[in-house]
Amino acid sequence: MIPRIALTPGEPAGIGPELAVKLANAGSTAQIVAVADPQLLEQTAAQLRQPLKLLPFDPRAPATPTPSGSLYIQPVSMAEPAQAGRLNTPNAPYVLETLRSAAEGCLARRFDALVTGPVHKGVINDAGIVFSGHTEFFAELAGVERVVMMLAAEELRVALVTTHLPLKDVSAAVTGPRLEQIITILHRSLRDQFRIETPRIGVCGLNPHAGEGGHLGREEIEIIEPALDKLRALGLQLIGPLPADTLFTPPQLARCDAVLAMYHDQGLPVLKFKGFGHAVNITLGLPFIRTSVDHGTALNIAGQGVADNGSLQAALAEAIQLAKLRSL
């Protein structure tokens, strides 16, 4: 199988276009289709002094590996020319259109997976568009009630109960029904997408020391443990809730195929410390495969040719692997 992978470079003023050009020059066994403005990619390649040939994409033709120095292109036009390092609100709709076009292509089976570069949520919101992130955008577009954000680096996988929420709102968002939905999606994805026959999931507590028997918070006793017990009765292998500083230790991680953290900065600092630069963001629960980089737009180094595309390469490799597993 030759997977056909859609690639969205993300914010045009960030490092995404540079990463796409570098990815093109690495070559691939998959067919990589950039959903982007052709002039942006050509301008970026010229600035980097790297070759880039944009090939017309025909979804009716058989998928063929992308030659080194090339990308297939599904064009989407920017409103205004981009300048590296300088955000421009008129181009915010362009960013969302690349995401929409690529995701709709996945839903229509024109693409086998989607790999996304970094977007800048602030400039999209400054343009008057409500946007909290890729994960939520794709869930709404696909008509999916709940998706799960999971990052992976080497053998460590960390999924999140809540994502882009202020810390003061996390406790109210950790509910029994939400936990049941998210753990069910995580379990099913590990089994069906990653082909782990009996997934073992470690679950963090919300409070320090997992609530210390109720002395440091009662969410573990009143919400988390009942939800886990209900799912254990259905046969799921769940460990916890354990304090995060206990669960994220080698002996405990050796027992788990994935860890479920209650909020963004409970789990992701550990993951990024372990694998920053080659970690992959994977959205679970969508009707298509979506992977992404583990970093932001890095406006401070955009256009300088120094951005490391290790995470984008890892995201592409993960998308190819998942697409091949799905085809079996």
Q: Which residues are annotated as a binding site for substrate?
A: 134-135, 272, 281, 290
Other CB atoms within 10 A of residue 28 CB? 21
Show binding-site residues for a divalent metal cation: 164, 209, 264
Phi–psi pair at 44, nearest 5 degrees: -65, -45
- Distances, alpha carbon 67 to alpha carbons 21, 55, 62, 72, 99, in Å: 13, 10, 15, 9, 24
Alpha-carbon span 175 to 260, nearest angstrom: 14
The type of residue at 243 is: P
> Residue 21: which residues within 8 A CB-CB, separation 6 or more?
41, 44, 45, 48, 50, 52
Evaluate whether 207 touches 217 at the Cβ level (below 8 Å): yes
Show binding-site residues: 134-135, 164, 209, 264, 272, 281, 290
> Residue 245: which residues within 8 A CB-CB, separation 6 or more?
none
